[in-house]
Amino acid sequence: MNYATIKTHDVANGTGVRVSLFVSGCTHRCKGCFNAEAWDFDYGDPYTPEVEEAILRALEPSYIKGLSLLGGEPFEPQNQPALLQLCERAKSLYPDKTVWCYTGYDFERHILAGKLGDPEITDRLIRLIDVLVDGEFVEEKKDLKLRFKGSSNQRIIDVPASLAKGSVVLWDN
């Protein structure tokens, strides 16, 4: 996996101050995407064990509220194994910090249905995510007043509550 950038003090992609990893590679190619250069799976730098360690160290301070995964597309099958390992380690080291993930895939139709690569990896990964912003960015539905999402068709999902209920529960801050 490659990554486009890492922000160690991000306040735009989830609640509080967060560490954000922008992965490379996306097949959605949404019109008006703010990060189109990251569509290319070879864009950016290789994700190495040293990069993972740097992310985990950046999560350590008490004022950091969690990890955000963006792209590119975190749920592309090629990106899932590395993100699963990162999230497992982050949750083990920092169980009180949250994981947010932004995906163009639909929670029910793609992620829960196991249609994105290895269903076991996808299932393990989604269970480590606290909040999922799902749905492709739709330029015609772009609204700069929306909090934590780019277009009105996207949803902000409370993943643990949704998995427990068996249906989507929207996140309520």
Size of the chain, expressed as the number of residues it contains: 173
Q: Looking at residue 41, what DSSP letter applies?
A: T
Q: What CA–CA distance (Å, rounded) separates 23 from 48?
A: 12
pLDDT at 139: 92
Q: In the predicted model, is pLDDT for residue 121 greater than 80? A: yes
Domain ranges of the chain: 2-165
Q: How far is CA 27 from CA 33, 48, 51, 74, 133, in A?
A: 12, 23, 24, 11, 17
**DSSP H helical ranges for the chain:** 49-58, 80-93, 119-126, 159-165
Tens of pLDDT, residue by residue over 131-162, are 999 999 989 999 999 999 999 999 999 999 99
The fold of the 2-165 domain, in CATH, is TIM Barrel (3.20.20)
Tens of pLDDT, residue by residue over 43-76, are 999 999 999 999 999 999 999 999 999 999 999 9
Is 130:98 a contact under the CB 8 Å cutoff? yes
Tens of pLDDT, residue by residue over 78-98, are 999 999 999 999 999 999 999
Low-confidence winner among 19-23, 26-30, 58-62, 100-104 (lowest mean pLDDT) = 26-30
